[in-house]
Amino acid sequence: MAELTAVVRDAAEVVVGPEEAERGDDASAPLVRREDAAVAVVDGRVAAVGPSDEVTREHPPENAAVAVDAAGKSVIPGFVDAHTHALFAGDRSDEFEAKLRGKTYQEIMAEGGGILRTVGATRAASDDDLLEILLSHLDTMLAHGTTTAEVKSGYGLDVETELRMLEVVARADERHPIDVVPTFMGAHAVPPGVDADDYVDEVVSEQLPAVEAQGIAEFCDVFCDEGAFTVEASRRVLEAGREAGLAPKIHADEFATLGGSRLAADLGATSADHLLRSTDEDVEALVEAGVVPVLLPGTAFALGAGYADAGAFLDRGAPVAVATDFNPNCYSQSLGFAASLACVGMRMTPAQALVSVTRNGALALDRTDGLGTLREGAPADLVVLDAPSHVHLPYNFAVNAVETVLKGGEVAHARNGSGAAHE
């Protein structure tokens, strides 16, 4: 017999998701919202969503393991953070200060700071230390409403540490309520003293076969930019990644427009990320090829750079995803804050911003089972906001409005005194 796991009742609104939940639909389509609504969860999936009296009649809260009174509150899908570098050791807060004094990200990188500095700290850390660091960041993400998060390797840049990072990501996935999606990113930077072409050879002929044999990573990502990897090198890595069973993703057009977007379109990559400097032709190519654009407004904010042109993608009906890019250069675990930046910095509507951190984040991770929505049958990952509508998510910027988080219908996080009743 099916087990009734949770009922969230009397919500001021339940946001179900975008009107059409098929990939490539008009991302500006209105949200499906239900007022005075409830959500019932059976076996970890949404069994019913609709008027509170009807849903609770059919699914009495007293029979549920978890009953949440959401009176006056907004219930939204759990956030899907489709781009993070959440596994790293060390501290680069001094680089934040240096950047404020006028140093550029690439000057810092050329001096051995930036990614390479984090590589040194990550190589030196033990597996258990790395796991502890990642779990603590995942706790913060969960408390801010994230229920699924991609995490990249890429601070090892050698076979041993890249594999160690992916192993730690898999261990964190087992232990933490957040579903963690592992991405291999050996091509994140060229290690010091190594010739760039030789390093690409190493990624392709040593790292990727080892990653394939390990069997953890799902995606392969590459930093295609000035001071990182050329389009040709990126193509080699992503094609070899695909042969190893890893779907391609790419960091493109962050600092320079090298042609990374065209490469993503050509390969039919799952996503192309950053896109701060993409041209109209790049946008056209990405949309035409069905590549999910992942915009990272926190990075633009932290760099003091211009934001990506979200409107260019939205006008063409692309399912724009917004992610945190959480890393030592962009130190925020909060997708709520990213949603505020998406609205104020990229002129997205609150509804578009919400879809970008939920359903479209799921599409950027190739999850098409309803993840990021609260449609019937979707995974019951949901957030109760301490606010009457989803608009408050971006509107109340830099404040965490998340009160309760359910993952698969179980309480994964409850702010003290939130009134979530669980037995």
By the criterion CB under 5 A, which residues form the site for Fe ion? 325
Minimum Å distance from CB 149 to Fe ion? Answer: 13
Three-state DSSP state, 82:
coil
Binding ligand NIG (rule: CB under 6 A), the pick from 73, 164, 251, 277 is: 251
Dist. CA 264–CA 180, nearest whole Å: 23
| Helix extents (H) in 222-269 | 231-243, 260-267
Minimum Å distance from CB 188 to Fe ion? Answer: 8
Kindly calculate the radius of gyration of the chain based on its CA atoms and give it in whole angstroms. 21
Dist. CA 3–CA 19, nearest whole Å: 29
Q: Determine if 137 is a binding residue for ligand NIG (CB under 6 A).
A: no
Q: What's the order of all strands across the beta sheet hosting 79-81?
A: 79-81, 146-152, 179-187, 219-224, 247-252, 271-274, 292-295, 321-322
Dist. CA 264–CA 365, nearest whole Å: 15
Binding ligand NIG (rule: CB under 6 A), the pick from 327, 356, 358, 404 is: 327
> Which tokens is 8 given?
């969230």
Minimum Å distance from CB 310 to ligand NIG? Answer: 17
Q: What residues between 253 and 272 interact with ligand NIG by CB under 6 A?
A: 254
Binding ligand NIG (rule: CB under 6 A), the pick from 85, 137, 407, 413 is: 85
Dist. CA 78–CA 379, nearest whole Å: 10
Binding ligand NIG (rule: CB under 6 A), the pick from 79, 199, 219, 223 is: 223
* Beta strands at 247-252 and 219-224: parallel, antiparallel or unpaired: parallel
Minimum Å distance from CB 254 to ligand NIG? Answer: 5
Minimum Å distance from CB 93 to ligand NIG? Answer: 13
Minimum Å distance from CB 328 to ligand NIG? Answer: 5
Pick one of ligand NIG, Fe ion, none as the site partner of residue 118 (Cβ within 5 to 8 A by kind).
ligand NIG
Which amino acid, residue 201?
A: D
The answer to whether residues 287 and 312 touch, using CB atoms and an 8 Å cutoff, is no
**The one segment of 47-55, 70-78, 190-198, 324-332 that binds ligand NIG by CB under 6 A:** 324-332
Q: Determine if 297 is a binding residue for ligand NIG (CB under 6 A).
A: no
Q: Is the dihedral of CA 231, 233, 237, 243 positive or negative?
A: positive
Pick one of ligand NIG, Fe ion, none as the site partner of residue 115 (Cβ within 5 to 8 A by kind).
ligand NIG
Q: Determine if 99 is a binding residue for ligand NIG (CB under 6 A).
A: no
> Which tokens is 142 given?
């969960």
Q: What residues between 334 and 353 interact with ligand NIG by CB under 6 A?
A: none
Binding ligand NIG (rule: CB under 6 A), the pick from 52, 56, 74, 118 is: 118
Q: Under the rule (CB under 6 A), what is the footprint of ligand NIG?
A: 85, 114-115, 118, 223, 251, 254, 299, 325, 327-330
